[in-house]
Amino acid sequence: QRLAASEIVPGDVLALRAGEPVAADARVVAARDLAADESTLTGESEPAEKSAARVDAAAPLADRRSMVYAGTTIASGEGAAIVVATGGRTALGDIQRALSREGERTPPIEQELAWMGRRLAAFALASSSAVVVVGLARRRPLRALGRSAVALGVAAIPEGLPAVGTTALALASRRLLGRGIVIRRLAAAETLGAVSVVCADKTGTLTENRMQVAEIFLPGEGVLRVERGGRARAGA
C-alpha cells in the first residue's frame, strides 16, 4: 500500500522500485540489481549499488551498501528495506541541522578593519590621556586641556577608512567581472583573494564533469596541444 512519507515510522518495510524516492533511512533486507542515486548526500554522480550484506557500522556513509537514505532515489532494480530513522533523525536531517548551526562568518577584510579600528581607538585614548597629564604637569587650564584631548581623539579616528575599504573591494569586483566572475557581495572579492588552496574530491565539483585531452606526446614529433575545439597544434 502507498502511504504519505509523514506516516512512515521505524519498523515499517519499504518496497523499493526504480524511479521512486526513498521516504526514510532504511536497512536493505532484499535486493535485486538495486542501486540508488545518492548525489544529494555524497555528491557522487554514479548510482550506488545496494545489497543486503552486512556492513561495518563505522563505515562512511558512501560505503554503507546495505542502507538507503531519505532524499535519495532508486536508480535501478528493486528490493525491500526496514525503516530505521525518519524525519530529523535521518542522514539528510543531520545535514540540515549542521547547516542551520553554521553562522555567517565575518569576511577577513571586516575583521582586519575592526582590529585596526580598535588599535587606533586605543592609540587615540592613550594620546589624549598623555596630553592631559602633560598639561596638568605644566599647570594648564583644565578646560583647554579637555578641548585639546577631545580634538586629538577625534582627529586620530580615520573616518574615511570604511570608504577606502569599500572602494578597494569595488575595484576588485570590477577586475573579477572583466574575467567573467560575478559576485553578489563586495566582501566576497577579498575572501576569494585570500584563498591559496582549493581541495576538490572529484570531477564535477569545480569542473565541467568531464575529462578532456590537453596534450598528446608523439615520439619524434614533440607535444601536440589540443585546443578546446578539438584541433591539435604543435607545441614546444
Tell me the three cell numbers of residue 97. Answer: 541541522
Dump pLDDT digits (tens) for 33-54.
Answer: 999 999 888 878 789 999 999 9
Closest C-alpha to 185, from 195, 201, 196, 172:
172
Catalytic residue, from 25, 33, 56, 201: name it. 201
Dump pLDDT digits (tens) for 9-23.
Answer: 999 999 999 999 999
Tell me the three cell numbers of residue 193. Answer: 583573494
Closest C-alpha to 80, from 55, 57, 50:
50
Domain residues of the chain, as ranges?
5-100, 108-158, 163-193, 199-236
Please check whether residue 56 is in contact with residue 17, taking contact to mean a CB–CB distance below 8 angstroms.
no
Angle between helices 108-137 and 161-178 (to 10 degrees): 160
Whole-angstrom Cα distance, residue 195 to residue 193?
6
pLDDT band of 236, cuts 50, 70, 90: very low
5-100 folds as 2.70.150
Whole-angstrom Cα distance, residue 157 to residue 119?
10
Tell me which amino acid residue 30 is: A
Report which secondary-structure segment, H or E, holds 84. Answer: strand 73-85
Dump pLDDT digits (tens) for 128-158.
Answer: 888 788 888 887 787 887 888 777 777 777 7
Question: Catalytic residue at 25?
Answer: no
The whole-model pTM stands at 0.54
| pLDDT greater at residue 148 or residue 161 | 148
Whole-angstrom Cα distance, residue 214 to residue 224?
9
Over range 79-99, report the average pLDDT.
89
Dump pLDDT digits (tens) for 194-228.
Answer: 788 877 766 556 666 677 788 888 888 888 888 76
Mean pLDDT over each residue of the chain, to the nearest integer:
82
Q: pLDDT above 90 covers what percent of the chain? A: 27
- Determine the pLDDT at residue 229: 57
Angle at the Cα of 115 from the Cα atoms of 110 and 118, rounded to 5 degrees: 125
Highest mean pLDDT: which of 34-48, 66-80, 84-98, 104-118? Answer: 66-80
